[in-house]
């Protein structure tokens, strides 16, 4: 795969993947820092069209080359992997060019601006035999990893619903609405946690305060087994809220990403229905279960460090990453369906 080698502290030879980063705006500096701090990867070149951003990148990463043109990164024979942190509309052309050049590619969320674009990227990656990964950052948090473990061990019982709120004041995107910006995070988390199949999406929203794109929206995802996912996203909130409720048949869970210590709390609460006579609904007996709450211990590693590590490991081990092209396609499909529902005044869109 064209790796370079350098001695490890133990004396063994460590395979190093040379990485090029395209985009040094809002998210690029975070990616650059985590690449620089991760073993097995080396940041060799950063591309950004703005001179002031290139100057900042040079000061922060003095051993890294900078350039104005993303094409230089893709054409560089020394670069084995490309990370793309640019506006949404550029994801597909940049990722496509890099994949066609035989580079491994990690793309900032969402993978592409349409289901067709995302599917094409996955097809090219498969044909070229290279790794395609999408940066669904929250999937790699200690909180979501723990929740997934609770789901797998049936600690919560059968999953019933997921209710999410992600609101803050800004950051307004120029080329996409609040659904493609904020909802992408929580849809990716739901995709990672829920094994059932989504069958339809409905969404409603509005563009307030004279803004061109929707800056507040409500999205509902319907599943084949009756599970329901609901998402409230908002760029016009006075406070920052990142809360997710997950209801199970045995226990319920609250995930509060703004909580400094107990981000995940598991409640031994629930409701049992006893239908004595199916022909007489008034005979339903409801019993409420309430018990202890506990906050499980979570991994403290920065999520983006785990993203970079997973990308490098997937390349070296020649396997699909946790958030691979298929995961990216599923999330984009939900986003695209939500967009279609918005344009149809909230009509339910079948997947």
Note the pLDDT tens digit of each residue in 180-232: 999 999 999 999 999 999 999 999 999 998 888 999 999 999 999 999 999 99
The half-sphere exposure of 338 on its side-chain side, counting CA atoms within 13 A, is: 35
Which residues 6+ apart lie within 8 Å of 341 measured at CB?
201, 202, 203, 204, 347, 348, 349
* CATH fold for the domain made of 4-135+304-323: Rossmann fold (3.40.50)
Going by C-alpha positions, the residue among 108, 183, 135, 148 that lies closest to residue 255 is 148
pLDDT value of residue 269: 81
Q: Compute the distance between CA of residue 234 and CA of residue 170 in angstroms, rounded to an integer.
A: 8
Query: Is 10's pLDDT higher than 70?
Result: no
Going by C-alpha positions, the residue among 4, 194, 27 that lies closest to residue 107 is 27
Kindly report the average pLDDT of the chain as a whole number. Answer: 93
The half-sphere exposure of 248 on its side-chain side, counting CA atoms within 13 A, is: 21
* Terminal CA-CA length for the chain: 38
Q: Are 309 and 38 in contact (CB under 8 A)?
A: yes
Residue 182 DSSP code: I
Q: Compute the distance between CA of residue 216 and CA of residue 238 in angstroms, rounded to an integer.
A: 13
pLDDT digits (tens, 9 = 90+) for 279-289: 555 556 666 76
Q: At 283, is the secondary structure helix, strand, or coil?
A: helix
Handedness of CA 189, 194, 200, 202 (dihedral sign): negative
**What is the average pLDDT across 44-55?**
98
Domain parsing of the chain, residue ranges: 4-135+304-323, 139-301+333-350
Per CATH, the homologous superfamily of domain 139-301+333-350 is Dihydrodipicolinate Reductase; domain 2 (3.30.360.10)
pLDDT digits (tens, 9 = 90+) for 292-346: 899 999 999 999 999 999 999 999 999 999 999 999 999 999 999 999 999 999 9
pLDDT digits (tens, 9 = 90+) for 260-301: 999 999 999 876 666 555 655 555 666 676 778 999 999 999
């Amino acid at each position: 795969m064209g790796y370079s080698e350098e001695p490890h502290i133990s004396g063994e030879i460590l395979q190093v993947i040379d990485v090029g980063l395209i985009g040094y705006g809002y998210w690029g500096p975070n990616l650059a820092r985590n690449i620089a701090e991760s073993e097995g990867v080396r940041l060799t070149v950063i591309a950004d069209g703005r001179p002031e951003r290139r100057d900042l990148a040079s000061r922060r990463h003095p051993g890294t080359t900078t350039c104005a043109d993303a094409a230089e990164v893709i054409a560089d024979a020394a670069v084995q992997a490309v990370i793309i942190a640019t506006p949404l509309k550029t994801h597909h052309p940049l990722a496509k060019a890099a994949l066609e050049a035989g580079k491994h590619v990690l793309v900032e969320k969402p993978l592409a601006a349409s289901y067709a674009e995302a599917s094409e990227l996955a097809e090219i990656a498969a044909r070229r035999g290279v790794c395609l990964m999408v940066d669904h950052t929250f999937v790699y948090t200690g909180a979501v990893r723990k929740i997934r473990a609770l789901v797998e061990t049936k600690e919560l019982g059968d999953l019933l619903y997921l209710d999410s709120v992600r609101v803050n004041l800004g950051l307004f995107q120029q080329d996409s609405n609040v659904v493609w910006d904020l909802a992408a995070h929580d849809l990716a988390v739901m995709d990672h946690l829920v094994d059932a199949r989504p069958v339809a999406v409905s969404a409603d929203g509005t563009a307030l305060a004279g803004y061109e794109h929707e800056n507040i929206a409500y999205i509902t995802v319907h599943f084949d087994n009756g599970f329901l996912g609901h998402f409230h996203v908002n760029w016009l909130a006075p406070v920052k809220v990142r809360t997710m409720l997950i209801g199970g048949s045995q226990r319920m869970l609250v995930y509060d990403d703004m909580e400094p210590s107990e981000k995940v709390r598991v409640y031994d609460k629930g409701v049992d229905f006893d239908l004595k006579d199916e022909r007489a609904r008034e005979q339903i007996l409801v019993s409420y279960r309430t018990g202890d709450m506990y906050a499980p211990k979570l991994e403290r590693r920065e999520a983006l460090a785990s993203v970079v590590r997973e990308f490098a490991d997937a390349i070296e081990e020649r396997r699909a990453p946790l958030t691979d092209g298929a995961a990216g396609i599923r999330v984009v499909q939900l986003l695209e369906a939500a967009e279609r529902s918005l344009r149809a005044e909230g009509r339910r869109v079948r997947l």
